[in-house]
Amino acid sequence: MRVGILAIGTELLMGQTVNTNASYLSRELSEMGISVFYHYTVGDNPGRIQLHLNALLEQCDTVFTTGGLGPTLDDITKEVVANTLGLNVILDQHSLERIKERFGLFNKIMPESNIRQAYFPEGAVILDNDCGTAPACIITVKDTDKNIVVLPGPPKEMKHIFEKYIRSFLLEKNQQAMYSKYLSIYDLGESSVEDALMDLVINQTNPTIATYAGDGKVLLRITSSGLVKEMNEIAVEDMVAIVKSRIGSHVISENGDDIDKVILRKLIEKSLKIAFVESCTGGLLSYSLIKNPGSSDVIDSALVTYSNESKMREVGVRSETLQTYGAVSHQTCHEMVAGLAAKTGVDFAVSVTGVAGPTGGTREKPVGLVYIGIYDGGEILTFENHFTGDRETIQRRTVLKALKLLYDRLGSETN
């Protein structure tokens, strides 16, 4: 099966949006053994959309479009698809009701303009969108088995519809089965992961191995495809075992979960209470847990003690400690986490103090120097770290390291 992807939207050609949809779809399709031959991007212009739709239909079996399904006048994808194939657009009552309901959920009345989102080329298979107001659709080109898959532009909505409908549609069309596992790897860079697994990656045929790096996590995707479902599962599990025998201490999840979710689950399971006191990460550490549902069961409180005064006032860091060793030191980090634990009576506590930059670094305490303290039922450990990058990068890396240290402490108790 040959696929072409047509992204529609002037914002892409203005460089305001990066076309992550094309790479997401390409990755998913590649994993399924489907070849993507072209990515095209055009603006919200009917002539140019039609020209490129025709070019892709000529060369490919399935054409994906992304974008141009919104309620505004420049959203014209479905109309142009219909024109290109000589079809009418007709109102889908079910979609109209769903769009109205969605506005109703938020106590709003659907604006007139959103009616456009309920019109589709005649004969289209309509796919409900649970994440937005723009339903998607699949159109089969008359007298062929070619398809046009029309997807919304916002990546979250596009992915939702791909996951829910498109993957199974393509598998069925292709008569294939598929099994994947996603290992979440932390505290090990992408190139180190690749080095450790080099021979496996080079010799891969089935299962295939792919790494995706982002935000401090390396996601390792192991996929087997073939006619027999059980054979795929066995092949993937065997490969998981080999990977874990090499870099197991860095694998924190086998279903792609982020480390914050895994930690939260462990804390909830064990009914442990936790608190944070942060300086240079400014709340990012506590938010990394609190963004998740269920965090209220385990998080007592979090303090951002940014100034020296607040370090003394909130967690009882001693003035002499700050004067002798400075705010960024093992000693201050230790007193922060000790004071927090004493004050809150939690089971676990984490402290962070460092120089996130870009200014404020000195020769002894350069930008990127960060201390992380862990209180674990009486025992206190502090860790010195040297991170590189700009301010936000150092803040993110600090949070990831603190989470990994926390994970290791939590893990060592259960495993």
Q: Which of positions 322-361 make contact with its own copies (CB under 8 A)?
A: 343-344, 357-360
Q: Is 265 in the site for its own copies (CB under 8 A)?
A: no
246 counts as binding its own copies under rule CB under 8 A: no
- What part of residues 156-195 is at the interface with its own copies (CB under 8 A)? 191, 194
- Coil, strand, or helix at residue 37? strand
In terms of Cβ atoms closer than 10 Å to its own Cβ (0-12, 13-18, 19+), residue 293 is: exposed
- 19 is a site residue for its own copies (CB under 8 A): yes
Q: Where are the alpha helices (DSSP H) in 60-188?
A: 77-85, 93-105, 155-161, 167-174
Q: How many chain residues bind its own copies (CB under 8 A)?
A: 85
For residue 269, the minimal CB distance to its own copies (Å) is 18
CB of 353 to its own copies, least distance (A): 12
CB of 125 or CB of 171, closer to its own copies: 171
Question: Which residues 90-109 are close enough to bind its own copies by CB under 8 A?
Answer: 105-107
**Residues from 272 through 291 that contact its own copies (CB under 8 A):** 276, 278, 280-287, 289-291
Part in contact with its own copies (CB under 8 A); list of ranges 20-28, 82-90, 168-176, 406-414: 20-28
- Alpha helix ranges (H) inside 8-92: 10-13, 20-31, 46-59, 77-85
**Which residues from 396-415 bind its own copies, rule CB under 8 A?**
none
Given candidates 1, 32, 33, 38, which one binds its own copies under the rule CB under 8 A? 38
Least CB distance to its own copies at residue 71 (A): 7
395 contributes a contact to its own copies by CB under 8 A: yes
- As to burial, measured by CB atoms within 10 angstroms (0-12 exposed, 13-18 middle, 19+ buried), residue 324 is exposed
248: alpha, beta or left, given left = phi > 0 and alpha = psi -120 to 50?
alpha
Q: Smaller CB distance to its own copies: residue 47 or 86?
A: 47
Give least dist CB 204 to its own copies, A.
12
283, with CB counted inside 10 A (0-12, 13-18, 19+), is middle
Site of tokens 């020769």 = 363
Question: Is the CB of 20 or the CB of 249 nearer to its own copies?
Answer: 20
Written in H, E and C, the secondary structure of 284-295 is HHHHHHHCCCCH
Residue number with CB closer to its own copies (147 or 286): 286
Nearest alpha carbon to residue 157 among 130, 137, 119:
130
Task: Reply yes or no: is the peptide bond before residue 46 cis, omega within 30 of 0.
Answer: no
Angle of CA points 16, 152, 134, to nearest 5° = 120
Q: State which residue, 139 or 280, has the beta carbon closest to its own copies.
A: 280
Query: Of these, 244, 292, 365, 385, which contacts its own copies (CB under 8 A)?
Result: 292
Binding its own copies (rule: CB under 8 A), the pick from 1, 2, 10, 125 is: 10
Query: How far, in whole angstroms, is CA 205 from its chain's centroid?
Result: 27
How far apart are CB 43 and its own copies at their closest, in Å? 7
Structure-token pair, residue 267: 């804390």
27 touches its own copies (CB under 8 A):
yes
Shortest separation between residue 242's beta carbon and its own copies, angstroms: 20
Contact pick of 111, 144, 205, 378 for its own copies (by CB under 8 A): 111
Is the Cα torsion angle 252, 257, 259, 263 positive or negative in sign? negative
Neighbouring CB atoms inside 10 A of 244's CB total 14
**Amino acid at site 197:** L
Among 300, 318, 361, 383, binds its own copies (CB under 8 A): 300
Contacts 24+ apart (CB under 8 A), 14-18: none
CB of 284 to its own copies, least distance (A): 5
